[in-house]
Each structure stands twice: as structure tokens, then as C-alpha cells.
Structure 1
Amino acid sequence: MLPSIATVRVLSQSFAALDAIVSPQGFATYAFDRRWGPGEEFGSMSNGSGDEYSIVFTAAGAFVRGFDHESSMSPYQDDGYRTWPGLVESVPEEFAAQVTEPAFCHSDGTGRFLAATVCVWRRHHDPCWQVGDIEFPAREDPDGSDWLFRLLVDGTPAAYCAYAADYFEVTLDPDDVGLVLDHRPLTPELVRRINPETDMAELAEALDTIGFPHLR
């Protein structure tokens, strides 16, 4: 149900920009780094409770890792901290480095393991997003993908406003949020409407990291 790679990238930048405005004190859930690595960009979500996802945009396409810490598919449910069977075995060579990326791994004291209950990937020539050959546990949303990526799948101003109301306890104007989701250049006036307490200098630095267009 994820949209195209291009749409996922734009939404990831937009969510990061909105969070940087709404929560300039560093409590943002969504982040984006256009300088993640040589030829790579990085979008992420972390709710502060152990649940997170990472999206690496590369020349080949995009690799998505999600981790629902309460999922029965968590490597913490296995004595050897192994990922769920089928989760990463068929990840193509183009994304092999992401499977062992230290930033996506936890440590059991003797070594690192991939903290993932979801792995999805798509090369630019693929017709759709790909997953491994997985036998899922018989429970609702067994890997956490439904709720982890709900905002990306919805991608509407109403969805972001609902998230912001729940997480930051703020009420936002859907029209203002829609301008950001449409990737319109941020103006000081728009920023003040969203959050009049935002420090414009600090926001400019954050937007430069995100790669979001803005007017000084």
C-alpha cells in the first residue's frame, strides 16, 4: 500500500519539516537527512517508545526497515536474536548494506543483529514494493507494518493533523499542513501560522538537512 518511491521521499521530507516546526525542542518523530551517505538519503520515524522505521533512498531505489518492539516477529522473541524467517533472505544485492547497517542494529552483548519486524524494498525498475517469502503469525498486524506506515500510506493533511493532535497536543490548520505536504516553499508567515514560537534560524538549519525548500 506504500506509494511510489518519489512520493514516499516527498512525504518523508514533508513530515520531517512539519515536525521540525511543530516541535523545535527536539521531540520530533519524523526526520530526514539528505546527506545520509554518498548518494544516499535517509527518512526515519521514532516514537520514543522503541518503535521506529528507516527508509534509505539510494541510486538503486529504496529500502525500508520497520521495527515494532511488541511484535511477535521481533528478533527479541528468538533466543539467538535472529530475524523472522524470510524477512531478509531475498533482499537484493543492491540493498545488502542496509541489512547490516549499524544504525539499524541492536546489540545482544556479543554482536549486532538487525532490529526489524518489517523489510520492504523497491528498485526503480520494480513494478511494486517487494517483500520476502514470509509465513506470518496468525494475528492482526503481526509485523506492525499497518500502524508503523499508516501516515505514509494515508499522506493527507487530515492524517498529519490527527497525528500532531495526539502526539504533540496541538491543533493545526489542514490547509497550512497541505501546503507543506505539497512541498511548497516554506515562508516565515506559514511557519508562524503553524507554530509562532519556532526559531527561524534553527528551523533553517533543520530544513537544510532535510532538503526542504524555504524562503528566508
Structure 2
Amino acid sequence: MRYGAGHSVAPFDTFNLGLRSGDDADVVERNRAELVERFALPSRPRWLRQVHGTHVVVEPGADEPEADAAVTRHRGTVLAILTADCMPVVFASRDGDELGVAHAGWRGLAAGVLEATLAQMHAPRERIAAWLGPAAGQASYEVGAEVFDAFVSQNPAAAAAFIPTRPGHSRVDLYALARQRLAHAGVMDVLGGGFDTIGDARFFSHRRDRRTGRMATIAWLR
């Protein structure tokens, strides 16, 4: 989470792990080294250059490829997703042989980043579990008509995830949209959700603070 470790100063205080957030790069690298040591990670995380797209890299290296999702079948390879309101999603096969992570803001979610990640996994969909990490919650996340249209134009049932607020605006439930899309893709075992990064100061939030750091969701096969 945002606090409890790290060396970044305001507005990136304190455990900022995002190199492209505007923070001092040397401090971020120091934070990243602390992440590895503090959690006794089996390897340095495979960071991605996230662009709100749907590209999935299989077995990412240390060169930070431009992608918004990754898949590994190697034990000890640490996958990582950086967020500050967007939703991190972790996929794991029930046999423990395959792992995926995805960066799912509303753009990536609507464009199909979850489905693209699943397409790179070998396990049958009914043998995959998903976990939804901390993201902007419906109580705080107001969006414009373009977000509503992006989802409802694909699936009219997505309208249930939106609560109208004022003309042309609504509050969106990213967790509900993710569960809906995962169910349509055949993934029914979905955990997590329920946080609100905008309303909870334990988390970095771009919507709340504009200039801010990034949290990391990390996962690996043991």
C-alpha cells in the first residue's frame, strides 16, 4: 500500500513504486529494492510500461516492455502491476502452474484486457481464479457518458454497474464490470473487490490527488 515503507516525499509519500509518476527516479529505485528485500521476493518484479492498452507479454523480461498484462509459467518470476485507481487483476490456474496479471482501468477493461490475458493462458477458464485488487470505488468514482457508452454499447447489461448522478455523468462500479466480463469469459471464481482507492488514504489515487505515486500488486508462482 501507500505507507509503511519507502522513502518518497510528498506528494509521492512514501512507498511509491512508479518510475513515471514524477518522483525522483533514484528514490523509486530505492523503494523497489526495499520491496524485494522486505517481502523476500524470489526475484525482482517484471515491471511493465503500462499504456492502458490490451497487449499481453508472456514471460516478460527485465526490460519493462510496453504492455498492460503479463503471463508466466515459471516459478519465482514475480509479475507486477502499478496502479493508482485503475484495477489490478491477478489470474491463477487451480493447478498452480500458471499466473497472469492485468492493469484494468476503464479503458483497458472496455477494450478487453482481461479477455486478452485469459487468451494467453493455457488453463481452461473453469480452472482459473481471479482476484480484483484495490481500485476506484463506485461511491467516489464519477465518470462521463463516454465511459457508460464504452461498456453499454458492447453489453446492455453493463448499465447495471452505473448510478446516474447528474446529466451526462454517473458513478461506475469497476468491480461489477470486471465480474460481468469475467463471467462472460467463463471465469466464475472471482475474489477481491470492495476497496475504494479514491476514498481511502491508505492507497495512492490519481483521481483524488492528481500528482501521486503508484502502488504495486505483485504475484508469483511458488
TM range (shorter): under 0.3
* Greater per-residue helix proportion: 1
| TM-score (normalizing by structure 2) | 0.25
| TM-score (normalizing by structure 1) | 0.26
* Greater per-residue strand proportion: 2
| Larger Rg, first or second structure (1 or 2) | 1
